[in-house]
Each structure stands twice: as structure tokens, then as C-alpha cells.
Structure 1
Amino acid sequence: MGSKYRIVARVSLASIAAVLAIAPAVSQQSDPPIARYTMDAGTLSGMAAMAGGRGGGIGGIMSMMNGGGGSVAHELVLRLGSSRTPAGGDPDADHFMPQGARLGTSVPLTYRRTQGREGSAPQGELPRGRLLLFWGCGEHAPAGQPVILDFSRLARGEIPPDLYAQGLNLPSDWTVRPDNSTTYGDWPNSEDAQVVQGNASLLGQHRVASNYAPEISFNLAQDFMPALQPTGSDLASGAVAMRWNSIDVATGYYAWAVGAGGNERDMVWWTSASTQQFGGPFADWVSPASARRYIEAGTVMPPTQTSCTIPAEVREAAGEGMMSSLYAFGPEVDFAYPPRPEDSRTPWRPEWIARVRYRSMAMVIPGMEMPGMDGSDFDSADSSEPDEPAGLPRCRGGLRGIAERAAGLCS
């Protein structure tokens, strides 16, 4: 293991929320764990696989255009947070993988605070243009769409008060971050960013050893999810009929599409939600419990649904270069030590808790044939990506982040 980096931050209520997330319905006295570990496992297909498991880089897309590469890759996001400080020296942590993961004996969990990404965005010219928002499956967009937002007003923080009138206001899944951990490590990172091959497997024993948390060990019997294989066909109305294969372990589906249209200063954004919903956790991993709530709210499509039509008005506004993404949210596996007592009257004092979440994601240009969209393994592609602009802060979430990114004020 190479050199590691220390970050000391406050321990927030996230530790308690993490315990509650895997607690039974009956109230049980419990203490926050010393360590929280998350392992998010994804299957990538279409253009998302072209960067070799990094979600779609320029080099991989060019390889796809030339007929190279395959159609399936995998991604792993590992995060370790602890309430302890390192015992002797800098933080030192490794996740020891089963041989089938094809990542070597272990991968290092390290964290480096990136310089130049804190604070507010630098001053610059406010973006000009508009954001056109559509939602819902169907050949035609209902009356009242699109909602049109001005980029310059969004960048100034002027969000229309009724934009989130139908907001979910549902709690997000707990997560491990530097700001809610005394010591933190993650992978991939600047020291190790290996590509997770399409034929990799997670099945078997996993062990996380560090100098700032108890040893974590668990056995995974759930492997990566199957790949999504969406297809799109143009309808006479101008709409695009999307269809995809059913995945047995899927807990729900979500789709979105973006395009620039004929006006270089306009951006079109559509989601499959049946109500006016934008932003949120839907480009992330979503737990089965959250997926059920989102399905009830009409934001996520149920696991029995395998089609959704992108309205003709969206295709017309977005143009031929419209790109769409489809997500299949999957199962979750939870581990803890010591295990939670069956008797709810017995206090539970876990040393560590761990969560493994799964998803499958495909990115396609509707109407464009993708090489190898038959589910063949991805095992070779140019995974080079352009570096992010130096010195720019990370973009915030939501609509304001979109506007600031369009203006070049964040990365």
C-alpha cells in the first residue's frame, strides 16, 4: 500500500442514520458504528461502457465510433468512513477482493483533498440560453410542457418557486463522505483507478483492513446485475419508442434524455417521471426501499415496465444528437458486526456496518446502432479522458449546477 492521506472532519448524524437504515421496524436501542462501508456495484452498457467502466469517456466513444470495444463493463465505488483516527502514520486501508474481481489481491482506499475545489465559483460571464424541461412517457408532451428556465437567472440562484411544487421531499439513502467521517478513504482514486472488466465477478469473500477501523469481512453471493440492452425506434409522430430487456433483480427503472437542439445555447432535459421531478439521486445507486417510495410517487418506473416513449416534442427540441440513459436499480445486501440481536430489547452496539448496492445503466443515442449491444463482454477500449479544468470548484447538484457548468464556472 502506498502513501495515504489524512482527513479529519466532524462526525455527523449520518452514522446514526446508517444504523437506522438497516434496523428492524421495532425500535431497538443502538449505538453508531465505529466504521461504515459502502460498496456500489454497477453494470455499464452501450456508450456508458465505452470508457472501460468510467461512465463514457471521449477515447472510448471514439473507439465505439470506429467499431472497436465491446458492450459491457463494470464499475465499483468503495467508501470507508470511520470515527477513529489512524493508529500510527497516515491512513492506510485496502479492500481485498476475490480472484474473480480481476483487480489483483487488493485495491487501496485512499483520499486526497483536491485543491482548488472548495468555496464559491470564480466570477465570470453568466451563461446565456435556456433549459427546456420535459417529463413523462408518451408520444406527446402534455399541455404546460416544456417548463423553460433561463440559464443566467439559474446561475444567480433565481429558481422559480413552483419548479419543485411536486417535489418528493423523501429522505436520501445514507452515504459515507469525508465531511461525515473522522477518517475517510475511497476507490477508485488518484493512486489506483483500474478498469473493472466486463467479465469480473464479485462472488466470494471480501475483506477491508485498515489502521483506522475494525476489520470488515463479508461474503457476497450476489454478483453484478445483467446488462441493460435498450433499443429505440422512431414513430410516425416523431416520438421515440424505447424498449429494454427485463432484469429479474431490478427494483425499478428510470430514464432521462438530454440534447442541445438546433440552438447552441439551449439545453433540453427529459425524464421518465410521471410528475415534474428533476435532479435528486436518480443517477446514483438507489436502495430497494427508496425505489419503492419513488415508484409510489410516480418518479421511478416499476420493475414490470420495459418500455417508455420519449415524446415527439422532446425529440424535435433536442435534435438528432439526443442522448438517453436508462437505469435499472437493483438489490441491496447489508452486513454488520456483531449482528443485530434478534431480541429488540437487547441493545445493539455494532463495530461496523457495510452495504452493497447494485444497478445497471445503459447510455445510447436513440436510433444509432451500438456495436456489441448483444451483451458481449467489454474487455478492450481506449479509456483516456480529458482532464477536468484545473482550479474550478466541483459543480453543485440540481439545476443551478447545470447552469454553472454550462457557463464554465465549475467542473
Structure 2
Amino acid sequence: MRANLLDALRAGRDPWQGIVGFDDTVLPQLERALIAGHDVVLLGERGQGKTRLLRTLPLLLDEWTPVIEGSELGEHPYDPIAPASIRRAAELGDDLPVAWRHRSERYAEKLATPDTSVADLVGDVDPVKVAEGRSLGDPETIHFGLVPRAHRGIVAINELPDLAERIQVSLLNVMEERDIQVRGYSLRLPLDVLLVASANPEDYTNRGRIITPLKDRFGAEIRTHYPIRLDDEIAVIAQEAHLAAAVPGYLLEVLARFTRLLRESTSVDQRSGVSARFAVAGAETVGAAAVHRSTVLGEPDPVARPIDLGTVVDVLRGKVEFEAGEEGREVEVLEHLLRRATADTVRERLGGIDLAPLVDVVEHGDPVVTGERVSAHDLLAELHGISLIDGLAERVGATSEGERAAAVELALEGLYLARRISKETDSSGRTVYS
């Protein structure tokens, strides 16, 4: 891994595919830790990309590597370490069968759960092998756990502090001496394993959640964080969301701003954080709302519109932890912050465009009606002949009918939030700007 990382850095290649927002903070620290050969623990709140980062580590391994065929530990043919492999190598010599293992098979991941046992991680005596006639003193009766099976690879443990203390103790020898002890067996295995873990800072630093000797054995503790720049936040949403419909970039920006406002709000419990998954799920919900509307109304190409942002509050409010004093005000807080995010996006995207002609149409003509039961064609028909629509479409890059309707809705919502027009929503889902 060290050699491949140095080769990538030397050649100017990015070894961290799909990792956004950590270029100047987390990744340099992780690279130094890997070059030093240290085991690593990533500390951060939920949804900061810790697991995603751990899963990119196998890309630094050689794509294929030779192993002794049938070996539990995947040893190199020239360097067997398990008793069974040593015996086979001595018996077969150059006839020892060799297989090739892909780097994806050299990464093992374990979620720390209350039912995790020492046998799962390190190993235990296999009763089946004993029943076959071998003695209990025979080291070949051992069934190896996850860590030794990851020999010449990577072991990742998610939510490390959730491991019981006696299970954490079983990792001490693995991390320092690189050997294992199973039920009194004196079996030294010179393991070549990188142990990486993730944890919440609050759990990791509290006494009693993780034992001090285990903390001491990690060579590097690296703090992760939510995206610092708005562009990175938007890039994460665009990369991770599986969208069922076209979602304009400014709607992704609204969701990114909304998520960032939640992380700054005193009404939200910041100890639990607001996961990047919140914004990703929000984008997917907005896309689904567009598909739902297009299916009901018979639109050929579904496009998300600002009216769909309201579904985020309805569906995802359970993903945010509020302070105890905010009980009963959750929807109010979410709607207020969503309006702020929308207003900020309108200023950023439509700043400099004179929206007075649209105000005149609303003031002197019929009210403009939109909503989940109003098609893009019908919305544009209400504003037929207004040249301003072309300017709005050009500013946000709207070409199709659905995208142009979405641009009009963005302008109407901006005017409402600037208190230049009014807005009312009835029980049928219609939104009336007047």
C-alpha cells in the first residue's frame, strides 16, 4: 500500500476516488499515516464519509496477488505462516498450488455490534475439526476469525467503541505484536494487517467506551468533518444521490444550503450532527415527487421544481435530532430554514435580473397557480408572452418545458420570500401566487 500510494503521489494521480471535501484536511493526514505504517481510527459524526473513505483503501493494494490455494489466511506461496500451510509447503515444495486473489477480497469490514465475539474477530477451536479425530492441542483445530483471515489485507471496524471491553482486549496483541492467542494456544502468526476503524468522537473520548490501551495502539487519530465549502456539499449530493428525475442544479444547491443551516441551528442537536445522507435523501425525494407528478399528469419527461422541496420536510424530519426544548416545533424550524436556503439560492442564481415584469403580471392579472397537480405546460401557459421567462431560462440553463417551468417557480418563490407577492396553499395541493 505504501509503495502504491507513493507511486500515485509521484505521478500526480488521485488515489481517493469519490472522496469530496477532504483534499486539504483529512487526506494528507491519512496519507502520512499509511506511509508511516500506522493503524488508523477515523473520528467524526454520522454521515461524514468515514466508511466511504475506508472502502477506498483497497484501491491502494495490488490488483492481484498470489496466495496459497485453499489457505484460510491467504498467505504468499513463499511465506506461509499458518501450521497447515507450512506443512503443505514442506510436503509439496514447488508443486504447492497457487491461486490469485483480487484486492476486493483483501478488505474485510465488521460493524461492531453487541453480539460480536472474540471468535468472530480472532478465532476459536473448531469442534468439527476436533470431531474428525485431531487432538485439542493441534493448532490446526483453530478456526481463524476475521482479523487473521485478512492477512496481507485490511480490516475495518465500524463504530469501534460499541465493542465490549473484553472484545477490545482481544485486539491488543493483534495491533502491537501482530500475533493472535486463541484459548491458550501459543500460536504466533506474524500477521501483515492494516487495522482501521471509525468512531464517534463523543463515544471515543468518553472513559468506559473504549479501553485506554487500545486507543494507545492506534498510530493515527484523524478527525473527519462535513464539507466546508458549499460546492463540495453540492458535489456530494450529485455524486451519491440516485435521482429518478432531472433535478436542476439550483435545487441541489437549496438542499445543500438547507443542510448547512441545520448544522448551524441552535434548535438542532449538533452532537448527533446532520448527516450528508439527509441532503442525499432529500434530493432523491424531490426527484421522486417529480416522477409522481409526471405520472399522474402524463408529462413525458419528469423535472423537479421548487414546489417539490416541501416534500423534504414531510418525509425526512425524522432524520434530524432536535434539542429537547424544541419539541412540537420541528416542522416550523425545518420550514423556516428551508425558506432561508431557498432565498439565499435565489439571490445567488437570479441576482441582477429585474423581476418587476413578473410582479406586474401577478398584480394586474390573474393569480399564478402551481402545485403538484399543475403540469409544466399549464404553468407556462399562465405566463404566456412574458419575455422575462427567456431570461430566467438562460440564466439557469433551462431548455426543456419542465426546466423552464421550474425556473419560473424559482423566481416566484424568490419574490414571495422577498415579500413582493403573496402565496397561499390550499388543501388540494395548489399553490397560488397573487
TM above 0.5: no
TM-score, L = length of structure 2: 0.20
Going by fraction, where is helix more abundant, 1 or 2?
Answer: 2
Going by fraction, where is strand more abundant, 1 or 2?
Answer: 1
TM-score, L = length of structure 1: 0.21
